[in-house]
Structure 1
Amino acid sequence: MNRLAIITDSGTATGFRLAGAETFEVKDNREMQEKVLELINTESYGLIAVNDQLAGDLGEDVARALKNKALPVVLPFPVPREGQVISGEQYLAKLVKDAIGFYVKLK
């Protein structure tokens, strides 16, 4: 059975650990790339979720390692920026806009 790994910063790692997810803390993009490559090479992960602030550029090595593999899927996930608090509706509207390129008013 494939496992889930979360790669994030120390500020958001605690929440994932409390939820029972296998979580790895990194400080920057370089460390994130190294950890993703390490997890890809173990071949026991089906999904590697990466903090989008750290995943800006996955890098050539990661892209090459994933090129001909169905698993794992590397999925960047959004986290609130420090000091930024938005409502659930605003958050969903932003996700929709980022995905389709248009603002959709949610009711």
Structure 2
Amino acid sequence: MMKIYMIGDEDETAGFSLIGIDAFQVKDGEHFVSVCRQVLDREDAGIVIITDRFFEIFRENFSDVLRKKAVPAVVFIPSFDGVHLKRSIKEFVAGVIGIGL
């Protein structure tokens, strides 16, 4: 059975935990990379929700991982303190799959 996981800071993960989604709190970029690697390697990971404050770190460290497998699907959501994406999701997806959208 595939599960949904969420990665963000303490405030952002609280609501997800309340509805039964396994949420991982991260403190900084280095901690994010470590936690994200663990979550992406899980056999039961179907969807991974990540706050967009970690978008650039994710792109730098995990874009190749997503090119090699379709699951888990990674979804970025706005952070509580605003939008951090420096490029659009469409550009990110096109880069990951290697096809212009």
Provide TM-score, normalisation by structure 2. Answer: 0.70
**Could you tell me whether the CA contact under 8 Å between 1:28 and 1:54 is conserved in 2?**
no
Q: Deviations over 1:1-30 (max 9, x none)?
A: 211000010122211111211100001222
Structure 2 residue aligned with 1:51:
51
The residue aligned with 2:23 is: 23
Match of 2:67 in 1: 67
Asked if the contact 2:12–2:80 (Cα under 8 Å) also holds between the matched residues in 1, the reply is no
Q: Tell me what 1:40 maps to.
A: 40
- Decide which structure has greater helix share: 2
The alignment's C-alpha RMSD in Å is 2.2
Identical columns (%):
25
Q: Is the 8 A contact 2:10 2:25 kept in 1?
A: yes
More relative contact order in 1 or in 2 (CA 8 Å, sep 6+)? 2
Structure-1 separation of matches of 2:65 and 2:89: 26
- Stretches of 4+ moved more than 4 A in 1? none
Question: Which amino acid in 1 is paired with 2:31?
Answer: E
Task: Give the unaligned 5+ runs of structure 1.
Answer: 85-97, 101-107
Question: What does the per-residue CA deviation read over 1:13-57, in whole Å, with 9 as the maximum and x for residues that have no partner?
Answer: 211111211100001222222212111212210111001112333
Unaligned runs of 5+ in 2: 83-87, 91-101
What count of residue pairs does the alignment treat as equivalent? 85
Q: How far off its partner does 1:59 sit?
A: 4.2
